Amino acid sequence: MAEIPTTDGPDLASEAELRLRASQQLNESIALIAPDNKVEYLEACRLAPDIVANETNPLAFMRSERMNTWAAAARVVLYWKHRREIFGEKWLRPILDLSGQGALSETDVNFLKAGVVAVRKHPPIVYVDMNKAPKTCGDTLFPSRLSFYLPAVFDFDEELQNDGVYIVNKLAPTIHVKNKKKQGRVWEISRNALPIRMKKVFIMRPANSIFPESLIRTCFSLMGMSITFFLGSSPEFLFECDGDDAVRKLLSAGIPTECVPFCLGKSVDGNFLPIAHHQRASLASATATTTATGNNRPRRKRGRPPKTNVETALDEVRENAQGQEDFLRRRNAFYSRRLYQRRKKEIAGVEGEVNTLREEHQKLKEENERLNGLLSEARMAISFYEDRNRTIFATP
């Protein structure tokens, strides 16, 4: 079987010739796979050969596997298997048809229009913010359908297929426990079936998250281990929050300066602030001192009234008092009321913190159950993956 050239040179074939040769090699390898392991692929070729020809770019599958023909053939077969599982009756409709009559539903198209997903091709960056999806939507298969949409958008891009794409995923401020049985195996599909490589994955934490930094770091570490198992060791996961840390991390990871606002979910039409100005403004706001009078005095504690208000109140008590003894009695009552109100606010604050801690404890219990389930799924996936590798290329 002839080798496909992978480096530039005077004898490099044209894109059409490369695709033709890749298609021939891929078809030869697929023909050696047992029919029971490629039922969906054979059915797709029989019912919709044009869709298979248009949406199964052989070069994309070959490049995603570093020109390994056998691995690319297995990826093609799994692509059509998972596509039928995720799209159901619409699995043989065009992915890029955004009229609502294609593989993507009208709800999926509305999500794309709402900015849940934004794509930049040069350099290839995908920004995902599920916070923009309607809160009432219970469709947990949208991320899985989206995973099939992105390779179609970046099709025929040789640089992307060889180097990979940057993924920026904006997390929600709170934890949402989802039904994993209905969510779809996004990471498994991305790793084993899609003709696309992931260069780096950024998971951005919103600045207004209700959880402490230490808890978030721990959850990110567990999430990183789980995702790395499902995706493999090729992508690099960078967990950061919004702000200067995210800007610095994105720049150090190779994201061009003009693309950083896009990765942070800001406008990409040229109306955003330059990154250099953003960094100077952040530094200035952190080091600037107030120009108001008395800027060298320590700040007053929150909740403590200014001294002038206390003196004014005592003057009013003194004016209404009848003699020194009455003034002392009224003054003591004034301070007692202030102490009672302050302690009442403190007790209310403590009770609020207790309720918040109880809610966080419950959420942590649910998250712990979810992570334990994920660990069990990972262990099962290991055994299934090993069994599949032993049988997928078995001849009939």
* Separation of alpha carbons 313 and 330, rounded Å: 11
The helix/strand/coil state of 334 is helix
- pLDDT confidence tier of residue 344, bands split at 50, 70 and 90: confident
* Separation of alpha carbons 109 and 88, rounded Å: 17
Token digits for 211? Answer: 């959880």
Bond into 173 cis (ω within 30): no
* Separation of alpha carbons 322 and 219, rounded Å: 65
**Could you tell me how many helices (H) and strands (E) the chain has, helices first?**
16, 5
Q: What is the pLDDT of residues 298-341, one digit of tens each?
A: 444 454 544 446 667 777 777 777 777 777 777 777 778 878 88
Kindly report the backbone phi and psi dihedral angles of residue 33, in degrees, each rounded to the nearest multiple of 5, phi listed first: -80, 140
- pLDDT confidence tier of residue 272, bands split at 50, 70 and 90: very low
Looking at residue 100, the DSSP 8-state letter turns out to be T
Question: Per-residue pLDDT averaged across 184-193, rounded?
Answer: 75
Kindly report the backbone phi and psi dihedral angles of residue 165, in degrees, each rounded to the nearest multiple of 5, phi listed first: -120, 150
Angle CA(101)–CA(161)–CA(272) in degrees, nearest 5?
75
Bigger pLDDT: 81 or 166? 81
Q: What pLDDT shows up at residue 359?
A: 85
β strands within 14-170, DSSP E: 117-120, 125-129, 165-170
- 240 burial type by CB count under 10 A (0-12 exposed, 13-18 middle, 19+ buried): middle
Token digits for 70? Answer: 């056998």
Domains of the chain, residue spans:
16-92, 96-268, 307-375
Question: Per-residue pLDDT averaged across 103-109, rounded?
Answer: 87
Token digits for 46? Answer: 């029989």
Q: Which CATH topology does 96-268 take?
A: Phosphatidylinositol Transfer Protein Sec14p (3.40.525)
- pLDDT confidence tier of residue 221, bands split at 50, 70 and 90: low
Bigger pLDDT: 239 or 288? 239
Find out whether 178 and 130 touch, Cβ atoms under 8 Å.
Answer: no
- Look at the block and give the residue holding tokens 């003196």: 311
**Which range is least confidently modeled, 38-42, 119-123, 160-164, 363-367?**
160-164
* Separation of alpha carbons 374 and 54, rounded Å: 35
- Look at the block and give the residue holding tokens 């005077």: 10
CA atoms within 13 A on the CB side of 106: 0
**Which range is least confidently modeled, 36-40, 224-228, 381-385?**
224-228
Bigger pLDDT: 32 or 254? 32
- pLDDT confidence tier of residue 289, bands split at 50, 70 and 90: very low
